[in-house]
Amino acid sequence: MSITEVQFEAREAADGQSIANIEGRSQWQLTWRRLRSDKVSMIALAVIIIMVLLAITAPVFAAITHHPPNVAFPNTGENAVGLPVGPFTNGFWLGSDGTGRDLFIRILYGARISLFVGVVTTFIAACLGVSIGLMAGYFGGIIDTLLARLTDAVLAFPYVVLAIALAAVFGPSLTIIMAIITFFSWAGIARIVRGQTLSIKEKEYIEAARSIGAGPFRIMFLDILPNLMAPVLVVATLYIPAAVVFEATLSFLSLGIQPPTASWGNILSEATNFYQTSWWYVVFPALALLITTLAFNLLGDGIRDAMDPRTERILAARRMRRQRKRRRRATAALTGPTKDFPDPARQAPGI
Amino acid sequence: MAIIGYLIRRILTGAVVVWLVATLAFFLFFARPVITVARQLAGRAATPQVINEVISNLGLNQPIMTQYWHFLDGLLHGNLGYSYFTQESVDTMVKQDLPPTLSLVVGGVVLWLIVGLSVGIISATRARGPFDRVANVLVLIGLSMPTFVIGEFLILVIFVPLNQHGFTWIDTGYSGPSQGLVKWAGHMLLPWITLAAVQCAIYTRLTRGQLLDTLSEDYIRTARAKGLSERRVVFRHGVRAALTPVVSQLGVDVGTLLGGVVITEYVFGLGGLGQVSVQAVFQDNLPVIIGFVILAALFVVVANIVVDFLYASLDPRVRIT
């Protein structure tokens, strides 16, 4: 028995043991395990965490650079002809903006607004959507008809058009923007929750709960809701970037966050006059926006794949392939050239 | 004759929806103090008399139900009211501003369907190949890019450098087809790409997913087993079945499309209905805003009827009744 074979035996024994005392894992543990092995999702998660940290520590950076977000520096922040200065000049890390303010600091403060709007509106919309979807699906009948029609109406409406009109009527402010975004976000979640509730409420354990006298709200929120958390979580992760984009769009059209408060949308809107001269003024806020939404979209896709039971097979296949490769390498290293003994794994096709 | 009955019913319900939207818009916008509008119109230094005169000139001092009645009456006669500022009829404004919007929508939709569907089909038939991987990355970037950022990006990277080097075929602003088709296309090219980009990403992903599901069904294996060419299997058996959910998504997306139109027109200064209505918002020009909201609702309703007919003609299981 060669050394490698002993090693293989040992590894196989270890594998066998782990199979022997197999333990039940909850859905969340499984999802997290799968998510952790997905490099793209983990990078996306890291990017999001960095973004959040940067947003939280924005005042610290403002103190380090001595550039408060809304203060213009006409002497250092503008060149001889009054145009913005480029990145890494006069202590402006990413250059200055049209009025000589620090672009980097303003982007950080913009991140505070974007992330706050994205997360808070999605949370409220998810609560609303879940409640409405649960009620529509559980009660059925006239309540379902009314709520489902309402959902369809909101989904089909040209929301940017109406949002513009609403922002105009109520005057732009952070609260109004968040109300508008919430109003147009709950419907998608409600529709998914309704569909799931319709199938879950026919299950036997719900009947059992009803037979021991549980009330409708207890059943909806304690018995049905936990089984819905997975799809709701996936949809919510994908709604955050949508809300961030929505806020930026409204601010870009001057209907959202009003200057001098910084938001990625209004920075980009101010930048439109400086295309010919100052590329950084457009590129950096756009990049911040793109990186954030991309990270949330990638993470959302990753969570969806991790929750899909079909993914397990793909991952298992990948793991097996990797193990086989590792073994092959170990064999090659220990026994030298393997030309005379072709790897059986490579012969597979055609046999 | 069932189809005609169905059509009549759909048109009637559509009319009710448009009426509901119009009423909602009317009361929403008139529920706030009229004095702000009047003050803006009369100018900063206006005396209270002048402001009152402006209010009565606009008919804003009448009871709100009377105003609503006038509004509905006008609507039934195809009259959307008059701009507060220029006294121009909103109907005329719509007629003037329709060509840029129409050019944008038609070109954008054609581009988005061609690119979205073909990339989706190629991706699905070569799943996990290099083409599919590149397409997947592009789709994710497209999904994460707000429309206005794409527009700005195209201006910065294509329009500005080309113009600096004296190449002026690609231009911002609008030039009608009557002034030369080539010139028109040059003006519309970047707006078309902008409008289509986000939608392309959504439709590529949807088509790819649907087609992958369809191609793993038993009847596709049967089609292959009886010796049909791969092209025939994919297009006649696969794509046709995979397209039905894509088409129904089309109806839902009309609203998103209109939002994209507003932003694209604003970014490129095309001056269509969208840009005019954004300007109207800044001026508190209520009749123009309401006119646009009603038109948008009308567009959504008509598009949904068309989509439902398309759906029924694609999927033999769906019957129009």
A158 contacts B258? CB cut-off 8 A: yes
Q: Search chain A and give the residue with CA nearest B148.
A: A249
Provide the angle, in degrees to the nearest 10, between the axes of the packed helices B273-283 and B286-314.
150
pLDDT at A117: 93
Q: Search chain A and give the residue with CA nearest B251.
A: A156
Please say whether the beta carbons of A195 and A137 come within 8 A. Answer: yes
Q: How far apart are CA A224 and CA A200, in angstroms?
A: 7
The tens digit of pLDDT for each residue in B38-93 reads 666 666 666 777 777 777 777 677 777 788 887 888 877 777 777 777 777 888 88
pLDDT at A22: 61
Q: Which of A156, A164, A286 sits opposite B252 (nearest CB)?
A: A156
ipTM for the complex?
0.78
Q: How far apart are CA B205 and CA B200, in angstroms?
A: 8
Provide the angle, in degrees to the nearest 10, between the axes of the packed helices A279-307 and A103-139.
30
Please say whether the beta carbons of B199 and B257 come within 8 A. Answer: yes
Q: Does B248 touch chain A (CB under 8 A)?
A: no
Please say whether the beta carbons of B127 and B205 come within 8 A. Answer: no
Mutate to test the interface with B, among A41, A164, A253 (most CBs of B within 10 A): A164
Taking all residues of chain B, what is their mean pLDDT, rounded to a whole number? 80
The tens digit of pLDDT for each residue in B158-172 reads 888 888 887 777 777
Rg (CA), chain B: 24
Residue A32's pLDDT band (cuts 50, 70, 90): confident
CA distance, residue A155 to nearest chain B CA (Å): 7
Confidence check: pLDDT of A347 > 50: no
pLDDT at A50: 95
pLDDT at A132: 92
The tens digit of pLDDT for each residue in B173-218 reads 777 777 778 888 888 888 999 988 888 888 888 888 888 888 888 8
Q: Which of B140, B149, B281 sits opposite A289 (nearest CB)?
A: B149
The tens digit of pLDDT for each residue in A260-283 reads 888 999 899 888 888 778 888 888
Taking all residues of chain A, what is their mean pLDDT, rounded to a whole number? 80
Residues found in chain A: 351
B99-314: which CATH number, 1.25.40.10, 3.40.50.1980, 3.30.365.10, 1.10.3720.10? Answer: 1.10.3720.10
Confidence check: pLDDT of A6 > 70: no
Which residues of chain A lie closer than 8 angstroms to B155, CB-CB? 275
- Give span(s): CATH 1.10.3720.10, chain B: 99-314
For residue B81, give the nearest of B72, A165, B64 by alpha carbon: B72
CA distance, residue B158 to nearest chain A CA (Å): 11
Provide the angle, in degrees to the nearest 10, between the axes of the packed helices A264-271 and A103-139.
130
CA distance, residue B181 to nearest chain A CA (Å): 28
Q: Does A181 touch chain B (CB under 8 A)?
A: no
Residue A339's pLDDT band (cuts 50, 70, 90): very low
Mutate to test the interface with A, among B84, B152, B162 (most CBs of A within 10 A): B152
Residue A126's pLDDT band (cuts 50, 70, 90): very high
Please say whether the beta carbons of B196 and A319 come within 8 A. Answer: no
Domains of chain A: 27-314 (1.10.3720.10)
Average pLDDT over residues A71-97: 80
The tens digit of pLDDT for each residue in B102-135 reads 888 888 888 988 998 899 999 888 877 888 888 8
Confidence check: pLDDT of A123 > 90: yes
| Cross-strand bridge partners of residue A92 | A89
Mutate to test the interface with B, among A41, A154, A161, A267 (most CBs of B within 10 A): A161
Rg (CA), chain A: 27
